[in-house]
């Protein structure tokens, strides 16, 4: 299965959160289906806040990159392009809000789901959730802005 991040232009594939060309990165990979993006991520043992629980900064990072891919896919779909086939549009984060609903257990795979709630010409609003073993642990609201075309957007 290919991800939306596989289709970022090389020049924008260095992101620490989701860039396939960042050897030290997290490599978030988001798949698009029926208006929703899904990502699976297994935190490393050192990605903890306190023993047993995932670091909130990691959760914010996962939401950030997953939301950018979601914004791209939703915009592309609205414009008649095919997310996961055509080159993924490049968005940047204008604002990121995360509500930590409960401690997120470490040692299990996290599932991120996100969808766009508003798709504008340049600005897209995204809502995301992070679940562990079926329990929602965090929720995100992200404002994404498309990069100008000359910057790879």
Q: What is the largest CA-CA distance in the chain?
A: 46
CA distance 91 to 138: 22
Choose between 61 and 75: whose C-beta lies nearer to its own copies.
61
Question: Binding of its own copies at residue 15 (CB under 8 A)?
Answer: yes
Binding mask 77-106 for its own copies (x = CB under 8 A): ---------------xxxxxxxxx--x---
Give which of 116, 121, 36 is closest to 84, Cα–Cα.
36
Q: Say what the alpha-carbon torsion angle 11, 124, 34, 10 is, to the nearest 10 degrees.
A: 0
CA distance 59 to 97: 11
Shortest CB 44 distance to its own copies, Å: 8
Question: Binding of its own copies at residue 14 (CB under 8 A)?
Answer: yes
| Degrees, nearest 5: CA angle 111-23-91 | 60
CB 17 within 8 A of CB 4: no
Shortest CB 37 distance to its own copies, Å: 17
CA distance 100 to 58: 12
Shortest CB 80 distance to its own copies, Å: 26
By rule CB under 8 A, what count of residues binds its own copies? 38
Question: Site residues for its own copies, window 41-80 (CB under 8 A)?
Answer: 44, 46-51, 55-58, 60-62, 64-65
Shortest CB 89 distance to its own copies, Å: 14
Shortest CB 90 distance to its own copies, Å: 8
The residues of the shown chain that bind its own copies, judged by CB under 8 A, are 11-12, 14-17, 22-26, 44, 46-51, 55-58, 60-62, 64-65, 92-100, 103, 152
């Amino acid at each position: 299965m290919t991800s939306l991040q596989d289709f970022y232009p090389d020049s924008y594939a260095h992101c620490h959160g989701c860039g396939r060309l960042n050897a030290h990165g997290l490599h978030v990979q988001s798949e698009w289906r029926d208006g929703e993006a899904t990502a699976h991520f297994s935190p490393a043992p050192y990605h903890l806040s306190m023993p047993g629980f995932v670091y909130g900064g990691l959760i914010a990072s996962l939401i950030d990159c997953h939301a950018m891919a979601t914004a791209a896919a939703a915009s592309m779909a609205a414009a008649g392009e095919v997310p996961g086939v055509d080159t993924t549009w490049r968005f940047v984060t204008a604002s990121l809000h995360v509500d930590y609903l409960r401690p997120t257990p470490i040692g299990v795979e996290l599932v991120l789901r996100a969808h766009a709630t508003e798709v504008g010409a340049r600005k897209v609003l995204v809502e995301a959730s992070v679940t562990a073993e079926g329990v929602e642990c965090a929720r995100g609201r992200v404002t994404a802005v498309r990069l100008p075309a000359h910057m790879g957007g």
